[in-house]
Amino acid sequence: MGLIGPMSPIRPISPIPSKKSCLLPLLPFNLIKMYSINPSKRLSIAEVGEILTKGTKLTLSDEAVRRIKRCREFLDDKIKTCDTPIYGITTGFGSLCNISIGPEDLSKLQENLVKSHACGCGELVKPEIVRIMLLTKVMSLSFGNSGVQLSTVQRLVDFFNEDVIPVVYQQGSLGASGDLAPLANMCLPLLGLGQVYYKGEIRPSAEVLAEKGWQPVTLVSKEGLALLNGTQFMSSHAVYAILQARRLSKLADKIGALSLDSYDGRIEPFGDEVNAVRPHPGQLETARAVRAHLEGSELIRQPKKHVQDPYSFRCMPQVHGAVKDTLAYVGSVIETEINSPTDNPTIFPDEDIIVSAGNFHGEPIAMPMDFLAVAMTELGSISERRIYKLISGSRGLPSFLVANPGLNSGFMIPQYAAASIVNQSKGLCWPTSCDTIPSSQGQEDHVSMGGNSATKLCRVVDNTERILAIELFNAAQALDLRRPLRTSPELEEWHAAYRRRVPFIINDTVMSPLIAESVEFIRENP
């Protein structure tokens, strides 16, 4: 795929993704907060979400500046005094590591690296994920183990703060040596190459840099490798997915509680006693959340004719809870990742060591991302089963949740749509981290494929959101068919807000816009 240079016309490209996002909308810039990048302070996934949603700008702490400068000065001195080759600094890359590069060509070596590695293909990465990539790359470089210029890191900060977002593609990363292709596309604009999102348009970066009065960065030794080696493409998708998955996990409890009540389900499986004897943290949390959502419900208190509910209802603590436990584990792994330098070689100025190792390898996060994709697929799968039960014509509810089935198909096909989405997610659950294809003439002979773990995880999370929105669409309809009985005050208020956006269905109508509106509702009303 050809690169867009400074004088090239903009070729047709996918439209910029909608400003509507699973993340909260950005605040006006007069309310901007500042976040100081400090390698001595751990950056949490929750803080990343806050930074993205509250119009926060970045600044480099004094500690970050000190470390970055110290490492660059050490590396400059080392290059002048060292007689032996240093991988990627005075040599070629990958299987070309045995070819030494003269001092006069070290800058050109790094520039060529960025250009040649910018091989991204396929769909565009969401701008909000690219913003996380910028943030986490700055965080990684701030530790002072990468040998970059302070001015280069500052330009990445400028991109983030001025909302100049590089165009990055979803395909191209093997997940070792890091995310070479997508990070190359992300860093092209530093050189005045490639494209950026800016003020609602995709434009050549050279134009935007000129408008800003920014000179293209001139890379020095090691910098291209520091920028391209790393796991920021993988880990940023993971951060985005975790932020959404945490929201959807809580929503699944709330929507599941509404479905349980609308289905005339039983509350006993959610008691503390039965869940405490198998005390997985997520199981207990789910049971308590569902009970809290149903506090004060007339429906849940009415006598039941049935002695037990289907698994999709009474096993919510076990299934939703397993998702919560998976999220907790994966979140801890990803937080470690975004608080680590992951390029190669790694430089230790105080110890006078430069080590060529493998901290760019994505395996530590690829496997957890595959695991989370499985968990989120299960959250969607059990939701679809509750949808199926709600339209089944049982427990006093009409077939397909309409008063006149036959003439009306009602909610028959939304369940089909949910089932189709579940099937796609199940197909995406095949772990890409169990595959490897050797590259670089066998020098890089085992890779993580974590880039594919990352992108499919985000697709599964988006799928799960749509399935839960369809469940809410069904559960709200079923609740209205139970009138005059009422659910809990909390869920009645939520249901009333939903009805202001999505009407009760009397006769058949076009369903797609209502499902889309349901998705927007759960994004805005968690």
Q: State the catalytic residues.
A: 87
Structure-token pair, residue 282: 């997520």
pLDDT at 74: 94
Confidence of residue 364 (pLDDT cuts 50, 70, 90): very high
Q: What is the mean pLDDT of residues 272-280?
A: 97
Distance CA 39, CA 226 (A): 17
Give the per-residue SS3 of 342-401. Answer: CCCCEEEHHHCEEECCCCCCCHHHHHHHHHHHHHHHHHHHHHHHHHHHHCCCCCCCCHHH
Confidence of residue 98 (pLDDT cuts 50, 70, 90): low
Non-local CB neighbours of 147 within 8 Å, separated by 6+ positions: 71, 72, 74, 75, 89, 221, 222, 223, 226, 347
- Terminal Cα distance for the chain, rounded: 41
Let me know: does 418 contact 464? Beta carbons within 8 Å.
no
pLDDT tens-place string over residues 397-424: 999 999 887 889 999 999 999 999 999 9
Structure-token pair, residue 60: 């480099």
Q: Which of 440, 509, 446 is nearest to 477 (CA)?
A: 509
pLDDT at 179 over 80: yes
pLDDT at 135: 98
Residues making up the chain, counted from first to last:
526
Q: What is the pTM of this model?
A: 0.91
Let me know: does 411 contact 380? Beta carbons within 8 Å.
no
pLDDT at 261 over 70: yes
Q: If you average pLDDT over every residue of the chain, what do you get?
A: 91
